[in-house]
Amino acid sequence: MTRRGSILLVSSTSRYGVINRFSEELALGFRAHGYHTYLAQPHQVGAESLLKEAIASGPEFIFSFNAKALSLQIDGEPLHDYLRVPSLSFILDDPFEVQGLGDGAEALTLLVPDPRLAHLVQGSVKTLYHGGCGPIAAAPVNSRPIDLLFAASYHPPERIKEQWRELPSEMWAVMEEVTSLAKAGDERPLAELWAERRLGDSLQWLISERRALSLLEGYIRHERRARLLRHLTKAGLIATLVGVGWEAHPDAAAHHLLGSRSISETIDLYRRAKVALHLNPAYSSGSHERPLTAMLQGAALIAERSDFLSHHFVEGGELVTFKAADLALVPDLVSLFLTNTERCETIACAGQKAAARGHTWAVRANEILQIQLHSFHF
């Protein structure tokens, strides 16, 4: 392996250790390409001395999650300005976060998990999909103790909708209309649906817009999770639910509630599951880590259709998908897998191979290096 220069990878704190896990696996990917990689987490014990060591090495570029590098300063200067090196940031938590970066975003190449989010920001924006987390599991499906795993948090949607009343009243009708379109199966991003119905550019509207989009996305996401569990309950299927809040669902008693788990624990649960369910977050054209991790861990995946999954995986061969408007059909798909273990095993194995071939953080490390190479010619 050819020894190259160094990279400064800036992680950040997150619930359940998700970003730390992403950072660790991405760092391994960079190192596999011969780069000495410094993994720094702001405010962590020893972070300052590690940063000084990384700075002394003259890193070729900085990579951070959620633009965390913007908060780091050396001698009163932003880190990327101080080092005079390119900086890339992957916006993966909040699809609307890019709107809140301000002037600092001009110094970055922003990477987003959905190509349709590129219009939300000025400057250099490129697409980078999530990577699944390993190591890859090998247990056959029929030996796994969990029939059906659904990893997602839950918050009663009616409580989220109550918060709409905090917004300007002229926004309420727009939010109801966008909600109706999403429930009917319109797969366009919420930001796009919202922009088509924007009533004006008043200061009050603009100030409230980001909050409105966040509440709208939260309501639709949790309302769909609530409906999905109702359909599963009605069909007599028992799901193992990983995530906070499910005890507030009326059907909670009919299922196995495990509460919150770290990402490492969730990976282990996927490794023990026959079938994994996935609903999309706000970015319907992009990726999310969970379905990729589920496939890497050998679970057969049933997921809401997205442009990303349709383009990168074989429908009916490596996974099975359903349309957003067809939640009522999901129990039938689950039952087909659970009663036909041979088909379940075949799809799980094929999905695992496809995810391992093209959708790990090691693969994303190579893609980041290519983006950096073509953007800055180092």
pLDDT of 258-294, one tens digit each?
999 999 999 999 999 999 999 986 556 778 899 999 9
Range of the domain at 248: 141-157+224-358
Would residue 136 count as lying in a domain?
A: no
**Cα angle 288, 185, 164; round to 5:** 80
Which of 68, 63, 67 has the alpha carbon at shortest distance from 27? 63
Is it the case that residue 244 has pLDDT exceeding 70?
yes
Q: Exposed, middle or buried: residue 143 (CB in 10 Å: 0-12, 13-18, 19+)?
A: exposed
pLDDT tier for residue 326 given thresholds of 50, 70 and 90: very high
CATH number of the domain to which 234 belongs:
3.40.50.2000
Residues 99 and 50 reside in one and the same domain: yes
| E strand spans, 299-352 | 300-304, 320-322
Would residue 218 count as lying in a domain?
A: no
pLDDT tier for residue 357 given thresholds of 50, 70 and 90: very high
3-state secondary structure of 200: coil
3-state secondary structure of 176: helix
pLDDT tier for residue 103 given thresholds of 50, 70 and 90: low
SS3 content of the chain, % helix, strand, coil (to 5): 50, 15, 30
Residues 36 and 100 reside in one and the same domain: yes
Would residue 183 count as lying in a domain?
A: no
Residues 321 and 290 reside in one and the same domain: yes
Least confident of 57-71, 81-95, 341-355: 81-95
Q: What is the Cα–Cα distance from 347 to 318, expressed in whole angstroms?
A: 5
Q: Which residue has the higher pLDDT, 48 or 166?
A: 166
Residues 274 and 150 reside in one and the same domain: yes
Q: CA-CA distances (angstroms) from residue 305 to 129, 154, 314, 323, 374?
A: 16, 21, 12, 5, 31
Residues 52 and 113 reside in one and the same domain: yes
Element (H, E) at 78: strand 77-78
Residues 368 and 341 reside in one and the same domain: no
Mean pLDDT of the chain: 87
Residues 78 and 122 reside in one and the same domain: yes
Would residue 196 count as lying in a domain?
A: no
Which residues does residue 242 pair with via DSSP β-bridges, in sequence order? 151, 259
pLDDT > 90: percent of the chain: 57
Residues 246 and 354 reside in one and the same domain: yes
Residues 290 and 150 reside in one and the same domain: yes
Query: Number of folded domains in the chain?
Result: 2
Q: What is the pLDDT of residue 248?
A: 98
Q: What is the pLDDT of residue 90?
A: 86
Q: What is the pLDDT of residue 121?
A: 62
Q: What is the 3-state secondary structure (H, E, C) of 103-116?
A: HHHHHCEEEECCHH
Q: Which residue has the higher pLDDT, 285 or 16?
A: 16
Between the two ends of the chain, the Cα-to-Cα distance in Å is 19
Q: CA-CA distances (angstroms) from residue 27 to 42, 70, 86, 257, 318?
A: 16, 20, 17, 34, 28
pLDDT > 70: percent of the chain: 89
Residues 278 and 339 reside in one and the same domain: yes
Would residue 243 count as lying in a domain?
A: yes
pLDDT digits (tens, 9 = 90+) for 106-153: 557 888 888 877 766 666 888 999 999 989 888 899 999 999 999 999
Residues 114 and 28 reside in one and the same domain: yes
Is it the case that residue 92 has pLDDT exceeding 90?
no
Structure tokens at 229: 């569990």
Q: Which residue has the higher pLDDT, 221 or 110?
A: 221
Q: What is the pLDDT of residue 378?
A: 45
Q: What is the pLDDT of residue 283?
A: 54
Residues 146 and 269 reside in one and the same domain: yes
Is it the case that residue 155 has pLDDT exceeding 90?
yes
